[in-house]
Amino acid sequence: MKNQLKRSFLLAIIVLILTGCSKKQVSVPEINLKVCDIHSEGYPTVVGLHEFSRLVKERSRGRINIEVIADGIEGGEEETLEMVKFGKIDFTRTSCALLPVIEPDFELLFVPGQYRDAIHFWKVIDGEIGSRMLKTLEQHSLYGLCYYDSGARSFYSNDKISSFSDLKGLKIRTQASVPMLEFINALEAKPVPMDLREVESAFRSHKIDAAENNIPSYEATGQYKVAKYYFKDEHSRIPDILVGSKKSLAALTQSDINLIFEAAQDSGAVQKMAWLEYEKTALEKVVAEGSIITTPKLDDRLKTLQKIRPLIYKHFTERQLEILNEIQNTN
């Protein structure tokens, strides 16, 4: 009886030891990462990043956690992009407008006047051309994960604009990109590169007559108070992009990297819906407060853009012109 008890006791100890070892073997440490954005909670890109984080956590069964850090706490877009490149931050959301200094071909995605409409834009961005562009970032220590919506840019002024011809001779605040400067020149207006934060005071002091941006920015910056005429021509679309650090993700398995890529791509649907709702709310607000929205006639828009396109394209290489032609022919 004593021997039987001893054997049972020893057997129980062995089972406990083996069970403990088994648990030790299957336990996997958590992976904690972070993604940054300069925008505040509730802004569409931040909504998209939270969805990205949620999907990664869900699909990794809680093993991979991505903390969303908003409000520019880690720095501006240029700073965080540089930090991601060197592995100091894992992911960041940035405007594609910053990427040509890293990979020049990204400029081809936001040349003014090349997209017929939003449908055409997303066929290019979500298609073969957009995918190739994302892939080019890998040679610069970055992963291009997905594109986010940031709407269409249009002109606005303190005087009524009802056609492209009304822009002739105006001093127009714009971004300092060569295609955009060429676009303003082609419209026989004067481009005035300027920081976004200076625009409202520039309107008040008559340093500029007009500016161009998307509806949410027009509303959020308060510029609708000094420029109530919004000419909704949608001449340019500059997508946002979610990028990851090849350096900081090097410790992950290829399976985990694939999971992150897929989650980023899938988060885009939520972000796009959030953008449409945000844009609708911003438009309703500025109209309620006195802004007058004018949409150009389709023929006027197409003829004007077709006429000035060669003037914008003149500084591109032959290879880049082939890509621009591919964009134009995407259906």
pLDDT tens, position by position, 76-109: 899 999 999 999 999 999 999 899 999 999 999 9
Count of helices and strands (H, E) across the chain: 11, 11
Contact 278, 39 (CB under 8 A): no
Q: Which residues of the chain have pLDDT under 70?
A: 1-28
Q: How far apart, in Å, do the first and last CA atoms of the chain sit?
A: 85
Q: Which helix (H) or strand (E) holds 54?
A: helix 44-59
Contact 180, 312 (CB under 8 A): no
Q: What is the rounded distance in angstroms from the CA atom of residue 147 to the CA atom of residue 330?
A: 18
What pLDDT sits at residue 28? 65
Q: Which helix (H) or strand (E) holds 294?
A: strand 292-294
What pLDDT sits at residue 27? 59
Pull the structure tokens for residue 11: 């057997």
Residue 135 DSSP code: H
What pLDDT sits at residue 203? 95
Instruction: Give the global pTM.
Output: 0.85
What pLDDT sits at residue 99? 94
CB count within 10 Å of CB 315 equals 11
Pull the structure tokens for residue 134: 């994302």
User: With left for phi above 0 and alpha for psi between -120 and 50, is residue 202 left, alpha or beta?
Assistant: alpha
Kindly report, residue by residue over 133-185, the tens digit of the pLDDT. Answer: 999 999 999 999 999 999 999 999 999 999 999 999 999 999 877 888 999 99
Q: Strands (DSSP E) along 75-149, which ranges?
A: 91-95, 142-148
